Amino acid sequence: MALPQVKLDATEARLAGMGLPDGGAWISEARQEALARVQSMGLPARRDEYWKYTRPDALVQAEALPAPVMEITDTPIFDEMERVKIVFVDGVFDPEASDDLSLEGVQIERLADAGAKDIHWAKELYGVLEANGQSPVERPLAALNSAYASDGLVIHVTGKAPKPISLVYLRQSDQADAMLHHVIKVESGAELTLLENGPAAARFSTVMEADIAMGGALHHIRAQGRDHERRAVTHIFARLATESVFKSFTLSVNGVLSRNEAVLELTGDDAIAHVAGAAVGDGDFHHDDTVFVTHDAVNCESRQVFKKVLRNGATGVFQGKILVKEGAQKTDGYQISQALLLDGDSQFLVKPELEIYADDVACSHGSTSGAIDDTALFYLRSRGVPEGPATDLLTLAFLAEALEEIEDDDITEEIRQRLENWLMRHRG
Amino acid sequence: MAALDTSSDKTEAQVREGVDRETVETVQSMAGKYKYGWDTEIEMEYAPKGVTPDIVRLISEKNNEPEWMTDWRLAAFDRWSQMKEPDWAMVEYPEIDFQDIYYYARPKSMEEKPKSLDEVDPKLLATYEKLGIPLKEQMILAGIEGAGEAPSEGRKVAVDAVFDSVSVGTTFQKELEEAGVIFCSISEAIENHPELVKKYLGSVVPVTDNFYATLNSAVFSDGSFVYVPPGVRCPMELSTYFRINAENTGQFERTLIIADKGSYVSYLEGCTAPQRDTNQLHAAVVEIVIEEDAEVKYSTVQNWYPGDEEGKGGIYNFVTKRADCRGDRAKVMWTQVETGSAVTWKYPSCILRGDDSQGEFYSIAIANNYQQADTGTKMVHLGKNTKSRIVSKGISAGRAQNTYRGLVSMHPKAKHGRNYTQCDSLLIGDKCGAHTVPYIEVKNNSARVEHEATTSKVDDDQLFYCRSRGMDEEEAVALVVNGFCKEVLQALPMEFAMEAQQLVAISLEGSVG
């Protein structure tokens, strides 16, 4: 089907100033194919159903809008943890600031290095999971990333990693427009925890393709940057084999635009996939969680838990879908999206979908939105808690269910602390 | 072969033993066949196939419409010719050739509009009688009094009977008139109450609303009109019974209900069609206007021919229904039992404009064999303290696909709005699908919105319990399903509740095992 002219023009305008990065034969081929996908799909436009609640304009236009770098005085999150720290500045790997790329049971390479080789295992995954995830719903910005991202990591997990890999995205320029693409392969029985934090760039696009073999596990915890003017679009494509586990949690505070897509495919029996998120924002904060879980095997479990606290006209979006394919019996699918609206101008726009083609399943979704419970607030105040702290306490209680999705208690506590600090700083 | 012989012998034997034909038919109907699949042989008059401005003019002319109405239709046709058929619903069907349909078909005997029901062709009256809808008032009364249990205070239901493109007659018009209620076909309303029609027609579902509604605006041939004046509680339930009979004919009816300040009316709608191999199109529009303190209950049992076990034939049911709660404290309640149609595309909606107005939507959608249903509601909260409640029960069996699609929208001004939505799906068999596509848009924090959805299969323990009490599997499933639907069945008026309960059982027959 021919694309509408407007879309064609917008796509061409974006691609005009860009060149495919250099690389070996396999990656160049993958990038060419990704570019062809972008051209045939066209970049998202305002009237696309999948972008009903989030305007893609700022993510599509040729020039990234500037975003001033925020001065952050407190210790960055995850800083006190034992980890392998890998730093990217404005979307470019910084070897000086990073630890050695070595970790027991894990091989870590830069995408540029892996791409320069003639043969590499990443060929089986780079752009492949992204391409799989283009149906039934198109995600052109992910294909754009596969075509043009020149940096990122290629991680091969063959054993149980003794400590997490921590990706730190710093920024120096007000203008940087960055793309990172990570490929992660978790072998049978292997395990890794991956941490991400930082704002990365004024406009940031990241794609993570993760393939988890039988009995493997990948834990992913992310704290998106606090720079208020930053814009980000992120994609996670995960493929889960038998008895494998994937768990992802995202904390977002501030940001005029975050579109976090997760596309999870459970292809082996007894696999477990969880995605969760806690987001708090003020004013022109716009936060969109878009999740698509496909159950294509027996006895799998998936959970989606998203909580948003919205104030002073902030907007929260959730589009979640559970697709249970024919034959995917004994599926346990759960989805909850909730918003706490702390004033009359904030809005919560939700589309929680179920599409089910198997009969022996238990799938449910729930969505609620509303103000803080007056009775609970009154109770706290009658016990002498002033209104500000009382509201914070109830807000934290509301977010708790999402935080419980994090496996590691220390990380849960650190994130809870960050949320409490944010609420205190933004009180009143 | 031998088995076949035995079964035919059996039927023979039963008839021979003095069991009348009707009993045999009833038994057959209970065996899972569509009960209303017969047709009436009657001489029909058709407009030429296809839709053009000339056909639109012809329909308008046949209904003796004034010029403003003809122009209204032509404008709609103009608009429709530029529109594209929507494709977002989760239904699949071969492309419809809109020029290969008869847009107007009426029994020859209706050429001269009968002045009273006594003048109506007995064949037509017999048709409705066979459908269980007696049109003769004496018969209705006699029937009720004959039953002996509720003599003179028996519940009366006034019926407007629509056969293909025309209204055959409306019962109890006199009695309703005494109460001030206008209940007639829409063609009569255009003739006799043009001021009301002009004021309200297209005011809830605008001409430009959507592809099918716009087509309906151009070619609707008849339908029902209700006006309940201020402060009047309609003395009986009103109902319209739609019957498609002619082959290759589309039915496009238009219903307009106006409940003036402080009034109340309960309206029932039923529909059936003969069993045919080809698909037929039904594209209706229902508009309801509810003024201050008024209340309307609208109940539908939709039992259009669903197609056979292989998915051949059946009605395409593309319907736009919307209620506008214009005044404060206005109230509307939609209840629907959707068991028929090959493809259903239907979203009865509520616009809650008046402060403290209320909308409710109760739905059971059952899809068996190759049926596809994409149905739900829209609750648009505009006024303060508006409340809405959605309870939707979708049941899929065989190879059917059943989708709930809905919108709950709380506008910034809808302070203290409240919505509760519950969508449950039940799957019977591993080849069918159940889907939920809700849109929830909350734009103020004093509003409270809750949405819950579940999908499950018929519980084995419940089935086992029923079986252990001596029920066969189909009976047991029907009972469990009826329990699943109870919340909605309870919202139906008495007359419908029984029928709906049986329909739920019949629609699912053959889906077990």
Partner-chain contact A344 B446, CB within 8 Å: yes
Amino acid type, B414:
A
Which pLDDT tens digit goes with each residue over B492-502?
777 677 777 77
The pLDDT value given to residue B495: 66
Dist. CA B196–CA B202, nearest whole Å = 12
The pLDDT value given to residue B152: 38
The pLDDT value given to residue B242: 86
The pLDDT value given to residue B159: 85
The pLDDT value given to residue B512: 58
Q: Which single residue is written with the structure tokens 């949320």?
A: A419
Average of per-residue pLDDT across B380-405: 93
CB A348 within 8 A of CB A319: no
The answer to whether B445 contacts chain A (CB < 8 Å) is: yes
The burial of A8, by beta-carbon neighbours within 10 Å (0-12 exposed, 13-18 middle, 19 or more buried), is given as middle
B473 or B511, which is more confident: B473
Query: Quick one: which of B329, B341, B364 has its CA closest to B485?
Result: B364
Dist. CA A164–CA A81, nearest whole Å = 9
Alpha-carbon gap: B136 to the closest alpha carbon of chain A (Å): 47
Which residues in chain A are contacts of B438 at CB distance < 8 A? 350-353, 367
The pLDDT value given to residue B28: 43
Which residues in chain B are contacts of A364 at CB distance < 8 A? 452-455
Average of per-residue pLDDT across B61-71: 93
The pLDDT value given to residue A202: 95
Taking 60 as the threshold, does the pLDDT of residue A57 lie above it? Answer: yes
The pLDDT value given to residue B149: 35
Which pLDDT tens digit goes with each residue over A128-152?
999 999 999 999 999 999 999 999 9
Alpha-carbon gap: B27 to the closest alpha carbon of chain A (Å): 31
Partner-chain contact B439 A350, CB within 8 Å: yes
Which residues in chain B are contacts of A331 at CB distance < 8 A? none
Taking 70 as the threshold, does the pLDDT of residue A44 lie above it? Answer: yes
- The CB density around residue B66, as the number of other CB atoms within 10 Å, is 14
Is the pTM here over 0.80, yes or no?
yes
Task: Give whichever of A80-94, A351-365, B275-289 has the largest mean pLDDT.
Answer: A80-94
Which residues in chain B are contacts of A365 at CB distance < 8 A? 436, 451-453
Using DSSP's 3-state secondary structure scheme, residue B460 falls into: helix
Taking 70 as the threshold, does the pLDDT of residue B154 lie above it? Answer: no
Residues 385-424 of B with CB under 8 A from A: 412, 415
The pLDDT value given to residue B14: 39
Which residues in chain A are contacts of B448 at CB distance < 8 A? 368-371
The pLDDT value given to residue B477: 84
The pLDDT value given to residue B172: 85
Which pLDDT tens digit goes with each residue over B76-133?
999 999 999 998 888 999 999 999 999 998 888 887 777 777 778 888 888 888 777 7
Average of per-residue pLDDT across B20-32: 46
Please, which pLDDT band fits residue B171 given cuts at 50, 70 and 90?
Answer: confident
Taking 70 as the threshold, does the pLDDT of residue B447 lie above it? Answer: yes
Dist. CA A346–CA A341, nearest whole Å = 6
Dist. CA B254–CA B345, nearest whole Å = 16
Q: How is chain B split into domains, by residue range?
A: 34-346
Q: Which of A49, A356, A369 sits opposite B434 (nearest CB)?
A: A356
Q: How is chain A split into domains, by residue range?
A: 5-372
The pLDDT value given to residue B7: 38
Average of per-residue pLDDT across B359-378: 92
Taking 90 as the threshold, does the pLDDT of residue A26 lie above it? Answer: yes
The answer to whether B111 contacts chain A (CB < 8 Å) is: no
Please, which pLDDT band fits residue B136 given cuts at 50, 70 and 90?
Answer: low
Taking 70 as the threshold, does the pLDDT of residue A60 lie above it? Answer: yes
Query: Which of A384-393, B298-307, B349-358 is predicted least confidently?
Result: B298-307
Instruction: Count Cα neighbours of A325 within 13 Å in the Cβ-side half-sphere.
Output: 14
Q: What is the dihedral of CA A17, A22, A24, A30, to 10 degrees?
A: -20
Q: What is the DSSP string of A322-368?
A: EEE-TT-TT-EEEEEEEEEE-STT-EEEEEEEEEE--SS-EEEEEEE
Average of per-residue pLDDT across A186-213: 97
The pLDDT value given to residue B65: 93
Alpha-carbon gap: B411 to the closest alpha carbon of chain A (Å): 10
Dist. CA A56–CA A43, nearest whole Å = 9
Query: Which of A77-86, B31-40, B250-259, B266-275 is predicted least confidently?
Result: B31-40
The pLDDT value given to residue B137: 59
For chain B, the maximum distance between any two Cα atoms, rounded to a whole number of angstroms, is: 72
The pLDDT value given to residue B131: 79
* DSSP β-bridge partners for residue A335: A304, A365
The pLDDT value given to residue B217: 96
Please, which pLDDT band fits residue B8 given cuts at 50, 70 and 90?
Answer: very low
Please, which pLDDT band fits residue A377 given cuts at 50, 70 and 90?
Answer: very high
The pLDDT value given to residue A74: 84
The pLDDT value given to residue B249: 87
Partner-chain contact A350 B434, CB within 8 Å: no
Which pLDDT tens digit goes with each residue over A204-224?
999 999 999 999 999 999 999
Average of per-residue pLDDT across B355-364: 95
The pLDDT value given to residue A1: 58
For chains A and B, count residue pairs whose Cβ atoms are closer than 8 Å: 118
Taking 50 as the threshold, does the pLDDT of residue B151 lie above it? Answer: no
Residues 360-379 of A with CB under 8 A from B: 360-371
Using DSSP's 3-state secondary structure scheme, residue B25 falls into: helix
The pLDDT value given to residue B511: 62
Phi, psi of A182 (to 5 degrees): -110, 140
Partner-chain contact B428 A339, CB within 8 Å: no
